Amino acid sequence: MDCTPTTATKQGNISQVKYLLESNADNLTALAGGGQAGATQIVNEISRFTTVATAGDSAMLQPAKPGLTLMVINHGANPMQVYGQPGDTIDDQASATGVAQMVNSVVIYVCTTLGKWYANGLGTGFSGAFETQSYTDALTAHSGGGQNQAPLIATMISRFTTVAVAGDSTTLPVGVPGMNITIINASATSMNVFPDTGSTINALGANAAFALAAGKTAVFVTTLAGAWHSIPLVP
């Protein structure tokens, strides 16, 4: 970290201003094919990835030591999977699972406890003056329906384009107060949205499915773990 004073001129007056110049790396490439083993090592305080050829290509943080802060920019074309070192966790996810960092996002990873990273900004990104949210497009609902086999929603916005048979399904993530999940059914067939195991949606019973009609969008919110509520939107 360079703390060398620099000069700034304003209205003819020269004043000494100190800036913290953090170590940085630009034009990085995430590991093709992804995975924790061999993931591109992040070795600077600020790192910008410009090549993420395929969704899930990966990068790895430094060992999680109290007081360490890292800033990672994904300016590639796809979501990037970020891992801690083997044994280290990010947001309490399993070490070998890591977290997905969306396209056009800046995420700050901080550590106060040995072996534990926590991230700020995973669900949001940038587009000029506009804030974006993590998304997945062209999803396929689980054939045959059901809660336990249905793919979990993994991003803030999820758009399903393939629902082969009425009742094919998906499942909301484990509800944490403050969550806000948007699901779009862009198919011509009604699909089922299940809560996480043991939870409810609206006044439906525990584990009961919410039917999301063809061509409709719904936002699912929760202020209490175990209780989801839907806000239907008219396309």
Question: CA-based angle 32:104:2, to the nearest 5?
Answer: 90
d(CA 11, CA 180): 48
Q: Per the structure block, which two tokens stand in for 174?
A: 């484990």
Q: For the chain, how many structural domains are there in total?
A: 2
d(CA 192, CA 214): 11
Pair 28, 110 in one domain: yes
Q: Which domain holds residue 162?
A: 134-233
Domain boundary among 65, 96, 130: 130
Q: Cite the beta strand spans of 114-216 per DSSP E.
A: 116-120, 124-127, 130-133, 135-140, 157-162, 169-171, 180-185, 191-194, 200-201, 210-212
pLDDT at 92: 96
CATH of the domain at 92: 2.60.120
Q: Per the structure block, which two tokens stand in for 97?
A: 């699972």
Of 217, 222, 214, which is closest to residue 233 (Cα–Cα)? 217
Establish if 4 belongs to a structural domain.
no
Pair 126, 28 in one domain: yes
pTM for this model (two decimals): 0.86
d(CA 21, CA 30): 24
pLDDT at 13: 52
pLDDT at 75: 98
pLDDT at 232: 81
- Is there a contact between 141 and 117 (Cβ–Cβ < 8 Å)? no
pLDDT at 148: 87
Q: Across the 235 residues of the chain, what is the mean pLDDT of every consecutive 10-residue run?
A: 49 64 97 98 98 98 98 98 98 96 98 98 96 96 92 93 97 96 98 97 97 97 97 75
Of 103, 94, 43, which is closest to residue 70 (Cα–Cα)? 43
pLDDT at 14: 52
Domain boundary among 90, 113, 130: 130
Tell me the torsion sign for CA atoms 77, 79, 220, 204: positive
Where do runs of H (alpha helix) occur along the chain? none
